[in-house]
């Protein structure tokens, strides 16, 4: 064994946040478990239960940014010497605090997560537009059609798709919209007419996008300028027949304002895959609204993405245990 420990015995590796229980199933842990004690936690942990799970860890594996890892938590982990997180971006990990303790941090590759999120976005757009959840519920209740006259599903062809963000995921979403015959418009803080035109899209103001679009989909990172970008004032600009889709980050929308806006019917419907608190609390008002489609943050949750996560984690851990150069190491 190349890794020594401050507490004696085998190194202790703790995996947290693997709700899908996929890292063990998809990874090859035989070599690692021959050299270390490994414990895996699927359910969400926070507060003292999180500290209790991690306090003796020499290495910690974080699934995405599900477990905030700040200086206060780090101060309670005296044995920690290595951190790995899946994916290449984590907005909740305090890299400077880890660097101050000379604790290296590695990440994994993403796999086809951008394709996965694009497909999830369109699953939600199509599912909401064609009323799939409501129609399935009717069948489960023994019905074929609703008992009273109700608005029918719409057709996306000829409608306007407004993309807030036209990066790697937004660009993919745009191509599908164009293939469906939609008029695609876009806005982002640094959007230019030339950049939009290069993808066959029209750049407009945010207000124009919200006013015109039957479907609005968010594809931005959260920075101070985009946090709660869709506030009460901007949500009120949306059409009563519009669909708001968020497979990006919940902080882009003021969630309290969104609940009130949906109650007022602007937007008319929302399809949400991301939430301020995850898992979504049972008493969250979004659960009670009839004009929402809710999914449990599934945008990146696919077999090939988690296969890449699992192989990346085990590769990093094997190198660390063998005292070899660390794989995909980050700097603060």
**Catalytic site positions:** 249, 278, 297
Task: Identify the bridge partners of residue 164 per DSSP, sorted by sequence position.
Answer: 187, 218
Q: Quote the CA–CA distance of 136 and 210 in Å, as a whole number.
A: 30
Q: Which residues of 55-73 are buried (b: 16+ CB within 10 A; e: fewer)?
A: ebbbbbbbbbbbbebeeeb
Q: Are 329 and 45 in contact (CB under 8 A)?
A: no
Given a contact cutoff of 8 angstroms between Cβ atoms, the answer to whether 261 and 239 are in contact is no
Phi, psi for residue 160 in degrees, rounded to 5: -100, 125
Q: Name the strands in the sheet holding 37-41, side by side, starting at the edge strand that comes first in the sequence.
A: 37-41, 12-16, 59-62, 82-85, 105-107, 329-330
């Amino acid at each position: 064994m190349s890794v020594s420990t401050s507490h004696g015995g085998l190194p202790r590796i703790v995996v947290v946040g693997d709700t899908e229980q996929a890292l063990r199933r998809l990874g090859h842990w035989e070599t690692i478990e021959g050299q270390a004690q490994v414990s895996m936690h699927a359910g969400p942990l926070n507060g003292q239960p999180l500290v209790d799970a991690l306090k003796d860890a020499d290495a910690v594996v974080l699934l995405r940014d599900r477990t905030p890892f700040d200086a206060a938590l780090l101060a309670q982990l005296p044995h920690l010497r290595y951190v790995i997180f899946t994916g290449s971006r984590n907005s909740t990990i305090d890299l400077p605090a880890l660097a101050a303790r000379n604790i290296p941090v590695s990440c994994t590759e993403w796999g086809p997560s951008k394709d996965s999120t694009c497909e999830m976005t369109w699953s939600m757009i199509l599912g909401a537009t064609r009323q799939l959840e409501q129609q399935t519920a009717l069948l489960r209740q023994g019905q074929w059609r609703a008992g009273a006259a109700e608005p029918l599903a719409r057709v996306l062809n000829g409608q306007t798709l407004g993309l807030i963000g036209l990066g790697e995921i937004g660009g993919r979403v745009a191509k599908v919209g164009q293939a469906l015959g939609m008029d695609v418009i876009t806005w982002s803080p640094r959007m230019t007419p030339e950049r939009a035109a290069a993808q066959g899209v029209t750049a407009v103001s945010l207000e124009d996008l919200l006013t015109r679009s039957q479907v609005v989909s968010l594809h931005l990172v959260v920075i101070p300028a985009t946090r709660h970008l869709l506030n009460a004032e901007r949500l009120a600009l949306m059409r009563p027949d519009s669909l708001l889709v968020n497979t990006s980050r919940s902080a882009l929308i003021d969630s309290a304002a969104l609940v009130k806006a949906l109650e007022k019917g602007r937007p008319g419907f929302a399809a949400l895959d991301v939430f301020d608190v995850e898992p979504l609390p049972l008493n969250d008002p979004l659960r009670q609204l009839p004009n929402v489609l809710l999914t449990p943050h599934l945008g990146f949750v696919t077999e090939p993405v988690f296969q890449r996560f699992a192989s990346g984690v085990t590769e990093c851990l094997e190198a660390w245990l063998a005292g070899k150069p660390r794989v995909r190491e980050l700097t603060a």
